[in-house]
Amino acid sequence: MDDITSETAQTVAVGQLRAFIERIERLEEEKKTISEDIKEVYAEMKGTGFDTKAVRSIIRLRKKEEHERQEEEAMIQLYKDALGMG
């Protein structure tokens, strides 16, 4: 009976594993599609004259909390001042 129970458990585990892997594969494909869409938007922006490097910086900053942005900006200003760039 142990062999049957063990075999059933392995079958269930294999089924779960396959389901997880297939979900990950679908999500990876969606991620690839979204990444391509984002690249297209940046290309469109660049084509209309926007500086995409600046836009990427703005997007990165917008992901942060206000206090995190302020701390980062203060540290950058401190370093710039120290290097005579202020």
Q: How many domains does the chain have?
A: 1
User: What does the pLDDT read at residue 86?
Assistant: 75
Q: What is the pLDDT of residue 2?
A: 61
Structural domain span for residue 58: 2-82
pTM: 0.69
| pLDDT tens per residue across all 86 residues of the chain | 566 677 777 777 899 999 999 999 999 999 999 999 999 999 999 999 999 999 999 999 999 999 999 999 999 999 999 999 97
Specify the pLDDT at position 4: 67
* Cα–Cα distance list, 51 to 35, 45, 64, 79 (Å): 19, 8, 21, 25
